[in-house]
Amino acid sequence: MSSYPDILYDVKDRVATITLNRPDRLNAYTGRMAESIKLAMADAAADPAVRVIVLTGAGRGFCAGADMEVLSGAVRAGGTGAGVKPGEIDRKFDSDLGPSLSDDFKDAERFGYFARTKKPVIAAINGPVAGIGLVMALYADLRFAADKAVFTTSFAQRGLIAEHGISWLLPRIVGQANALDLLMSARKIAADEALRLGLVNKVFAQETFMENVMAYARLLADTVSPRSMAVMKAQVWKANFQDFNQALDAADKEMKVSLGHSEFKEGVAHFLEKRPAKFADI
pLDDT digits (tens, 9 = 90+) for 99-108: 999 999 987 5
Residues 252, 204 share a domain: no
147: exposed, middle or buried (C-beta count within 10 Å: 0-12, 13-18, 19+)? Answer: middle
- Is residue 11 within 8 Å of 50, Cβ to Cβ? yes
Residue 194 lies in a domain: yes
Mean pLDDT of 131-142: 98
- For residue 281, tell me if it sits in a domain: no
Give the up-direction half-sphere exposure of residue 24: CA atoms within 13 A in the CB hemisphere: 1
Q: Give me the domain span that covers residue 211.
A: 7-221
pLDDT in tens, 16-35: 999 999 999 999 999 999 99
195 plus 258 within the same structural domain: no
Across the beta sheet with 142-146, what order do the strands follow?
7-12, 15-20, 52-57, 121-125, 142-146, 202-204
| Residue 150, strand partner residues | 190
- The number of distinct structural domains making up the chain is 2
CA–CA distance, 32 with 67 (Å, rounded to integer): 11
The reply to whether 92 and 187 lie within a common domain is yes
Task: Tell me the C-alpha distance between 41 and 51, whole Å.
Answer: 12
pLDDT per residue over 107-126, tens digit each? Answer: 756 899 999 999 999 999 99
Spatial contact of 137 and 173, defined as CB atoms under 8 Å apart: no
Instruction: Give the separation between CA 237 and CA 84, rounded to whole angstroms.
Output: 28
pTM value is 0.93
Indicate whether 265 belongs to any domain: yes
pLDDT tens for 218-256 read: 999 999 999 999 999 999 999 999 999 999 999 999 999
**Average pLDDT over the chain, rounded to whole?**
92
Question: What single DSSP character describes residue 99?
Answer: S
Band (pLDDT 50/70/90 cuts) for residue 1 is very low
145 and 165 in a single domain? The answer is: yes
* pLDDT attached to residue 86: 53
CA-CA distance, 228 to 282, in Å (whole number)?
10
